[in-house]
Structure 1
Amino acid sequence: MKVGRTSSFRDAHLAAIVDHSSDAIVSKDLDGNVLSWNVAAERLFGIPASEMIGQSIRRIIPADRQDEEDRILARVRSGELVPKFETMRLRADGAEIPVAITVSPIRDELGHIIGASKIANDLREQASLRTELLRSQRQFKALANNIPQLAWMATSDARVFWYNQRWYDFTGTTPENTQGWGWHEILHPDHAQRVIDSIGDTWSKGEPWEGTYPLRGADGEYRWFLSRAQPVHDEKGDLLFWCGTNTDITEERETNERIRLLMNEVNHRARNILATIQAIVHRTVGEADPALTEALVRRITALAANQDLLTKSNWSGATVDAICRSQMLHVVDPSDGRVEFDGPEGLMLKPTAAEALGLAIHELATNAMKYGALSSETGKVSLRWDIVETEGKQRLDIEWRESGGPPVSRPDHKGFGTAIITRNPEMALRGKVTLDYAPEGVVCRVTTTDKVFSDGASAGSQTEGQRAAATG
């Protein structure tokens, strides 16, 4: 009785496992007729057990795969286990579904093979994911190979493990000789160590990287590229790899170099014209009106100083700090400590705004030397500027403040100098200018009301790529 109870329990236990399995479990005799068909098989194939038991398993095998069943039965009869393989089977509605099948022989008490047990795993979800993955891979490949840049991916220690086709087309290299650190070989030798050191320093911090350098093409010629790399992190923030691109900027650099040479030539000729105008002023007005001569000459000098700054930036603009220091340099030695500069560097103004601000600073400095704080040994000038956020917009605030000089009084009339200090900046900077002749010292404040920063430079500094493209 004990043996019987154990056997019954075991049979019930196995039956429960089969019935509650998420995999389709089917048994068949050696002719392929179904002997058992569990609940999971009913769900997978859409055929109830009552319709399949006693029927041939070939009902769920597509017509073009019938020989597959012949091979399975032959291997079962020989006592082989058929390892898991992927194939297609039919549902009740005739639709083909992907499955993974494992087949093993069933033996009786004497060890004779009397049938086969088959386990079928539903692969529809995996097949869908695989299809989506393949589609994504094709899309990525198409995108990566059709962008104009050379694209690549690298490990955290700068070993490249993937390039797009444009890389191979340009360099003439193969995957075998440029994997890992093979890309070092096509770097221009004069720039190789600089680039390698720069990458190592930046990538060790996990920060985005940018650099410019020449790469050797398949024809042996070097061309300049702007390279950028972005770190890719997992959901925990750990660095996975780097994605990078190389953009050919050779023609842009050459164009900018030609523009720079032309601008230098224009600047040279313009300075010659300004020098000629100065000579004409001296000869025409001369000693007849020394004050007028001086005023004209110094304003022409201020224009020339502004032009020098703008020419150096290809007329993209000039920074506030450079404008202030350049104009003060023509009036007083800033190193003597009488002029204090305080403000962020790199705030690039548009050319028109830069010219107006430069002339205004020059006029204020000249007046300070003649009548204000800089006319005495104890006087000082404080020049401050900063960015202020107002209603979601960036505005520039500049203050000129004199102190320690002789008492100040308001002038009897407003001349051309006052117009240069107030009206010109108001128009060019689209702002408001207040000029206060306080007894302790002149105070002038400029507050912009519109965007006066040069495009892409309001944050203060150009990227390495912009500088490279601009300077050649």
Structure 2
Amino acid sequence: MAPGWRIDERARVAAIAEHDIESLRDDAALRRITDFAAALCDVPIGLVSIVETERQTFLSRTGLDVSETPRESSFCAHAMLEDDIMVIPDATQDPRFADNPLVIDGIGIRFYAGVPLVRDDGIPLGSLCVIDTVPREGLTALQRQGLLVLSEDVLRRLDDSRSSAASRAAIGDSEGRFRTLADTMPQMVWSTLPDGFHDYYNARWYEFTGVPAGSTDGEGWAGMFHPEDQERAWAVWQHSLDTGEPYQIEYRLRRYDGQYRWTLGRALPIYDENGAIVRWFGTCTDIHEGKLAREEREVVAQELSHRIKNIFAVISGLIGFSARSHPGFADVADDLRARVIALGRAHDFVRPHSATSRPAADQTSLQGLLAELFEPYQSRTAPRITVSGDDVAIDDRSATPLALLFHELATNATKYGALYHDAGTVRVHSRRVGDRIVIDWHERGGPTVAQPTKTGFGSQLIELSAVRQLAGTVVQRWDSAGLEVEITLPETSLSRG
């Protein structure tokens, strides 16, 4: 029916009265439909709504506590008059619904998709709809097809509600359609009871595994995993069952020909109105080729990074060799070699690693990088440089200027400042101030320091690293108790994330 089409409201109300609405509230067959509709569209709410004179009644509801709302706030009252599925990507941007109480308060509807429920005699009853509280672009072709198939099952259930015998037939037919829909999906689909007992697999599962139907029900599924993955998969699955958190894991699944292929397993819980899990719906997706390609790229990246690390060692060696040939340049060579070594340590910290070579600290951690850089300056008995405060994410782009900056400060402290004496200490403290990171460098226990009368290369290097490369500022205070430096950096300059 075209939008704007006017229905005979009295005939529509009479048609609704022909159905036993109360007996269909929380109907098991309808509940399976809304559970699957929500899982199919990856949304938290699925409803079968009947639009009455002054209210809309939810015969089945997944992910929603209320059983009815006033008709004037009903989205389904609009959807039931459409010729096709009514899709609203963002209700706040739709003038028809922007001021709707279910958008502003209540449910907080953003995305809505409703299939008209229209009887064979042309009278609209309501809608089968799915709802999300965040905007979405729309529905995939498979989701549209699935909702249309499920809406036919809803109508059949409504029509057959006038006869108990016909009702029993409708339940069987609804389950058959559910299985038909699941069997046409390209992924392996499965479901479990709340305790994790597997009671359903679609045809794709049996095609992939080649096992007899029913042989992987219950706990039999775990035997299909690679022996090295079984314990880990059990642990992740048990955690999801205990907490209700979504299930996601990569494991090797045995195919019908005996080959173990990498598979992505996912599952989401379906809740009732009391917040209890009533089912788990899950999928298995073959990711074998993609997984191998990622591993190959990782090996190449590790090899390339390892060669870069060797280049730093070669450059350091060449500087030392040149210094021995020109003794007059020994001091300059030592400074240059130290800076190259600092860059090498920074690169080694953020580079791709294998499981055995990976640093103990998080490779995206500012404090982890500083601890790595300061290691050569620490005492065996007590830490001389302490790092505290808010940790911040870094990446390979910011690691190099950070290494140069703090290596220069630590070197100067060793030559002229707090680290010149054994009892001297340096405290490095980082803190967030809005969208900027402030790093304080405080030296104590060293000789009395005074502001230099001229700017040396070290000061220029600090300026280059903090200001030009990281878009920050550096303020130095030459206190008699020790040098204090305040470095302020935009957080966006430290990490692409």
Alignment TM class, shorter chain as reference: 0.5 to 0.7
Q: 1:342 to 1:280 in 2, by over 3 A?
A: same
- Aligned twin of 2:223: 185
Q: 2: distance between equivalents of 1:154 and 1:221?
A: 26
For residue 323 of structure 1, report the CA deviation from its aligned partner. Answer: 0.9
Q: 2: distance between equivalents of 1:124 and 1:146?
A: 23
Q: 2: distance between equivalents of 1:448 and 1:175?
A: 61
Q: Which runs of 5+ in 1 are unaligned?
A: 1-21, 25-93, 98-122, 459-472
Normalising by structure 2, what TM-score? Answer: 0.57
Q: 1: distance between equivalents of 2:191 and 2:197?
A: 8
Q: 1:241 to 1:281 in 2, by over 3 A?
A: same
Q: Which amino acid aligns with 1:432?
A: T
For residue 222 of structure 1, report the CA deviation from its aligned partner. Answer: 1.2
Q: Which amino acid aligns with 2:344?
A: A
Q: 2: distance between equivalents of 1:198 and 1:236?
A: 25
Partner SS, residue 330 of structure 1: helix
For residue 411 of structure 1, report the CA deviation from its aligned partner. Answer: 2.3
For residue 442 of structure 1, report the CA deviation from its aligned partner. Answer: 2.7
Q: 1: distance between equivalents of 2:185 and 2:212?
A: 18
Q: 1:166 to 1:259 in 2, by over 3 A?
A: same
For residue 353 of structure 1, report the CA deviation from its aligned partner. Answer: 1.0
Q: 1:407 to 1:184 in 2, by over 3 A?
A: same
Q: 1: distance between equivalents of 2:243 and 2:212?
A: 31
Is 1:304 the counterpart of 2:344? The answer is yes
Does the 8 Å CA contact 1:227/1:244 hold for their aligned counterparts?
yes
Equivalent of 1:443, from 478, 481, 484? 484
Is 1:127 the counterpart of 2:145? The answer is no
Equivalent of 1:336, from 370, 382, 387? 382
Q: Which amino acid aligns with 2:376?
A: H
Equivalent of 2:293, from 255, 274, 283? 255
Equivalent of 1:295, from 330, 335, 339? 335
- Aligned twin of 2:26: none
Equivalent of 1:217, from 234, 246, 255? 255
Percent sequence identity is: 30
For residue 143 of structure 1, report the CA deviation from its aligned partner. Answer: 7.7
Q: 1:454 to 1:174 in 2, by over 3 A?
A: farther
Structure 1 segment 377-392 matched on structure 2, within 5 A: 377-388=422-433, 390=434
Q: Which amino acid aligns with 1:295?
A: D
For residue 300 of structure 1, report the CA deviation from its aligned partner. Answer: 0.7
For residue 153 of structure 1, report the CA deviation from its aligned partner. Answer: 2.8
Q: 1:381 to 1:145 in 2, by over 3 A?
A: farther
Normalising by structure 1, what TM-score? Answer: 0.60
For residue 335 of structure 1, report the CA deviation from its aligned partner. Answer: 6.8
Q: 1:197 to 1:280 in 2, by over 3 A?
A: closer
Q: 2: distance between equivalents of 1:349 and 1:144?
A: 46
Q: 1: distance between equivalents of 2:478 and 2:195?
A: 62
CA RMSD of aligned residues (A): 3.9
Partner SS, residue 282 of structure 1: helix
Partner SS, residue 183 of structure 1: helix
Larger Rg: 1
Q: 2: distance between equivalents of 1:415 and 1:144?
A: 73
For residue 183 of structure 1, report the CA deviation from its aligned partner. Answer: 0.9
Partner SS, residue 275 of structure 2: coil
Q: 1:180 to 1:322 in 2, by over 3 A?
A: same
Count of aligned positions = 335
Structure 1 segment 68-467 matched on structure 2, within 5 A: 126-127=158-159, 142=181, 145-146=184-185, 149-286=187-324, 287-312=327-352, 318-333=364-379, 336-343=382-389, 347-388=392-433, 390=434, 395-449=436-490, 451-452=492-493, 454=495
Partner SS, residue 410 of structure 1: coil
For residue 238 of structure 1, report the CA deviation from its aligned partner. Answer: 1.9
Q: 1:145 to 1:450 in 2, by over 3 A?
A: farther
Does the 8 Å CA contact 1:429/1:450 hold for their aligned counterparts?
no
